[in-house]
């Protein structure tokens, strides 16, 4: 594990080099624990422009690539399409697609939005003789407050986060804070957790915790 962490840090540093010369990028790195993956460092890199989003995430042994597009319909309706592939070393790979549509409102100090739709996923694993497939409901909701250069957001994702998908009712809850130190550069913090499927009267059980710090380079 130690060697992988060193490798992770080297990749992180290598990826920082083009960042300093690029625009419209964000880099997140930090600590992540899941119920199956021993304390791992995670690292992700995202590029955004005109509704398009491209990202890479390293969460050893997972390497994920993701594409997304968010478009507007009229003043308040938005739609989003996402695709991702995650490679689990020699264990196999998972590919998923998600399509959602919803409402979005952005006032001076507030932004509110939700998206609902479906996600499909296919896992080709070395441990199974045929692919595992699924098609489930997907929901995203967020509220963001803007205070000068700072913003704080609370995000709920029912099943899919940008780089990888989970099955329905394994939601991610994210608290995010950003501060634009300079006009085109900011720092961010993300605290995220995922919890197990839940029905009325049942106990809450956390299956992932994540703490990330990030650098945000805004598109000029």
Residues in contact with another protein by the rule CB under 8 A: 5, 8-9, 12-13, 16, 20, 27, 29-31, 33-39, 41, 43, 88, 91, 94, 121, 123, 125-129, 132-136, 165-170, 181-182, 185, 187, 196-199, 201-203, 205-209, 211-215
Closer CB to another protein, 74 or 182, in the complex: 182
Closer CB to another protein, 72 or 205, in the complex: 205
Question: What's the min distance (Å) between Cβ of 187 and another protein?
Answer: 7
Q: Are strands 172-180 and 185-195 parallel, antiparallel or unpaired?
A: antiparallel
Strand partners, 136: 119
Closer CB to another protein, 43 or 162, in the complex: 43
Residue 170: its H or E element = none
d(CA 106, CA 15): 33
Question: What's the min distance (Å) between Cβ of 141 and another protein?
Answer: 19
**CA separation, residue 30 to residues 42, 49, 73, 198, 199 (Å):** 6, 24, 36, 28, 31
**CA separation, residue 211 to residues 59, 98, 214 (Å):** 13, 25, 10
Question: What's the min distance (Å) between Cβ of 112 and another protein?
Answer: 28
Burial tier of 49 (Cβ tally within 10 Å: 0-12, 13-18, 19+): exposed
Closer CB to another protein, 12 or 116, in the complex: 12
Closer CB to another protein, 147 or 199, in the complex: 199
CB neighbourhood size of 156 (10 A): 14
């Amino acid at each position: 594990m130690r060697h992988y962490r060193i490798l992770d840090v080297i990749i992180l540093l290598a990826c920082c080099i083009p960042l300093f010369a690029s625009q419209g990028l964000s880099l997140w790195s930090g600590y992540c624990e899941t119920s199956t993956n021993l304390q791992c460092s995670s690292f992700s890199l995202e590029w955004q422009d005109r509704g398009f989003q491209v990202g890479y995430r390293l969460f050893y042994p997972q390497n994920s690539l993701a594409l997304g597009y968010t478009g507007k319909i009229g003043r308040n309706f938005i739609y989003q399409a996402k695709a991702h592939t995650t490679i689990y070393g020699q264990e196999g790979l998972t590919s998923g697609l998600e399509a959602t549509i919803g409402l979005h409102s952005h006032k001076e100090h507030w932004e509110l939005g939700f998206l609902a739709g479906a996600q499909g996923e296919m896992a080709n694993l070395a441990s199974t003789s045929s692919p595992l497939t699924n098609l489930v409901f997907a929901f995203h909701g967020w509220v963001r407050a803007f205070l000068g250069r700072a913003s704080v957001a609370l995000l709920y994702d029912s099943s899919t986060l940008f780089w990888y998908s989970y099955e329905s009712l394994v939601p991610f809850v994210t608290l995010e804070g950003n501060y634009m130190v300079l006009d085109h550069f900011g720092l961010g913090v993300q605290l995220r957790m995922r919890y197990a499927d839940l029905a009325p009267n049942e106990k809450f059980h956390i299956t992932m915790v994540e703490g990330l710090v990030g650098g945000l380079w805004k598109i000029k």
